[in-house]
Amino acid sequence: MEVARLNLCAPLPIVDEEPILDSMLGWLARWLRMLGVHAIYSPSFNDESLLSINHLLITRDRELFRKRSLPTLLLETPIHEEWLSISSLILGTQLVINMDRSLCPICGSKLVKVGREAVVSKVPRSVLLRHDSFWLCTGCGKVYWVGSHHMRIGKELEIARYILSRLKASCVGNNLLIIHNN
């Protein structure tokens, strides 16, 4: 089953340090940032502004895909884990969280590792008692730690890695089709 289409036939991965994600892909932008990809995203992006930006565009908008002549990846599946898998295939991103490489999922800024003393007024006391390591966003100031939610994140990534192992890319005309072999 076809799950995505790239509007150029090129060897993978496509090297783009800053892929653009359209306004429908906030979920994917957050996940790519956690994986260390500097994904550029804004819920206020409009189609006209995206037509001429010289970066790989990732979209679910068929009309935008059709209009755009610059490299564009059309995600044709509604399944989030497939979005992650396809993005990993196209960008060459490892589907593993590495906090030394992760970016803030909210704003995309760098995270710096800090101790408890740096976040004492920013996190609940119960979190301070259970955790030693924290990461502070240099942009928005949000604090992160490896909590119980990391099990859920790990499961999502495990599913995405399995799907990635089932993806096949092949050129048809000027497009690279991504097929998920169930």
Nearest to 58 by CA among 32, 36, 79: 32
Report the pLDDT value the prediction gives residue 90, as an integer from 0 to 100.
Answer: 97
Domain match, 53 and 10 both: yes
In one-letter notation, the amino acid at residue 6 is: L
Report the pLDDT value the prediction gives residue 148, as an integer from 0 to 100.
Answer: 85
Domain assignment of residue 24, given as a range = 2-97+155-180
Domain match, 24 and 108 both: no
Domain match, 12 and 81 both: yes
Cα–Cα distance for residue pair 145/125, rounded to 1 Å: 13
The verdict on residue 56 lying in a domain is: yes
- Three-class SS string for 132-151? CCEEEECCCCCEECCCCHHH
The verdict on residue 150 lying in a domain is: no
Task: Return all residues near 22 (Cβ < 8 A) that are at least 6 apart.
Answer: 45, 47, 50, 57, 58, 59, 60, 61, 64
Report the pLDDT value the prediction gives residue 123, as an integer from 0 to 100.
Answer: 94
- The size of the chain, in residues, is 182
Cα–Cα distance for residue pair 120/124, rounded to 1 Å: 8
The verdict on residue 54 lying in a domain is: yes
Report the pLDDT value the prediction gives residue 147, as an integer from 0 to 100.
Answer: 87
161, pLDDT greater than 80? yes
Question: How far is CA 74 from each of CA 2, 89, 128, 182, rounded to the nearest angstrom?
Answer: 11, 13, 43, 20
The total of structural domains in the chain comes to 2
pTM for the whole thing? Answer: 0.94
Cis check: omega of the bond before 13, within 30 degrees of 0: yes
Report the pLDDT value the prediction gives residue 178, as an integer from 0 to 100.
Answer: 98
| Residue 164 pLDDT grade (very low, low, confident, very high; cuts 50, 70, 90) | very high
| Residue 4 pLDDT grade (very low, low, confident, very high; cuts 50, 70, 90) | very high
The values of phi and psi at residue 56, to 5°, are -60, 125
Report the pLDDT value the prediction gives residue 40, as an integer from 0 to 100.
Answer: 96
Report the pLDDT value the prediction gives residue 93, as an integer from 0 to 100.
Answer: 95
The residue that leads in pLDDT, 16 or 56, is 56
The verdict on residue 57 lying in a domain is: yes
Cα–Cα distance for residue pair 117/106, rounded to 1 Å: 23
Task: Return all residues near 44 (Cβ < 8 A) that are at least 6 apart.
Answer: 23
The verdict on residue 80 lying in a domain is: yes
